[in-house]
Amino acid sequence: MTSSRGPWQVNDSREIYRNPWISLTEHAVRQPDGEPGVYGVVGFANLALAILPLFEDGRLILVGQHRFPLDRYSWEIPEGGGPIGTDPRDGAARELREETGYSARHWQEILRMDLSNSVTDEAAIGYIATGLTPGEAEPDGTEELVTRDIHFLDALDEVSSGKISDALTVAMLLRAYYMAREGALDRDLAVAMLDKGARRS
């Protein structure tokens, strides 16, 4: 049955692959220029969740882990997935606890993002988490994690230098920086985040 997606005509669709996390669907299409073509779309079973855990003194928590697809080590804010249709904030709280052991009293949504919209339908939500209380981390079997505290401005330097390249981490840090400068965050927290004297050399 023929359907349309904007200027694209979809003549046929078939699922090529599925596992508990992703699926791959191949669409036989007529392109916007009228020519026939094929469009593959990766579908995600989970919503991507990102958490920026901030301490009162402007430090944050980064998580280090080896990322299988790129075969490369990556420093990131806590991230994970929550089943679509469930409360994303509950999922974010679970991911923060599992990866760092911390729980948070206060949550503020600051970002909604399409992660790679030319080939996937993956969407993300990002939160700032404050009022942090330590606990015991509970990573799952796919994770071998290391955590470190770093001042917010030093984390931004690592974005600028390319040491941090994870898309959600970059977006969340830049969004939080903008909000801190524009008065959209708690004033005391924003001052601590932007305090150059608190940076580590």
Residue 142: the pLDDT is: 78
- Exposed, middle or buried: residue 43 (CB in 10 Å: 0-12, 13-18, 19+)? middle
pLDDT digits over 140-178, tens only?
877 889 999 999 999 999 999 999 999 999 999 999 999
Residue 17: the pLDDT is: 98
| Residue linked to tokens 């917010």 | 152
Using an 8 Å Cβ cutoff, are 51 and 127 in contact? yes
Phi-psi region of 161 (alpha: psi -120 to 50; beta: other; left: phi over 0): alpha
User: Is pLDDT of 116 > 90?
Assistant: yes
Residue 82: the pLDDT is: 96
- As given in the structure block, the two tokens for residue 3 are 């359907």
Residue 143: the pLDDT is: 80
SS (H, E, C) 117-168: CCCECCEEEEEEEEEEECCCCCCCCCCCCEEEEEEHHHHHHHHHHCCCCCHH
Q: Nearest CA to 37 among 27, 49, 23, 47?
A: 27
Confidence of residue 11 (pLDDT cuts 50, 70, 90): very high
Q: How far apart are CA 81 and CA 188, in angstroms?
A: 31
Residue 1: the pLDDT is: 79
Backbone φ, ψ for residue 149 (5° rounding): -95, 140
pLDDT digits over 80-104, tens only?
999 999 999 999 999 999 999 999 9
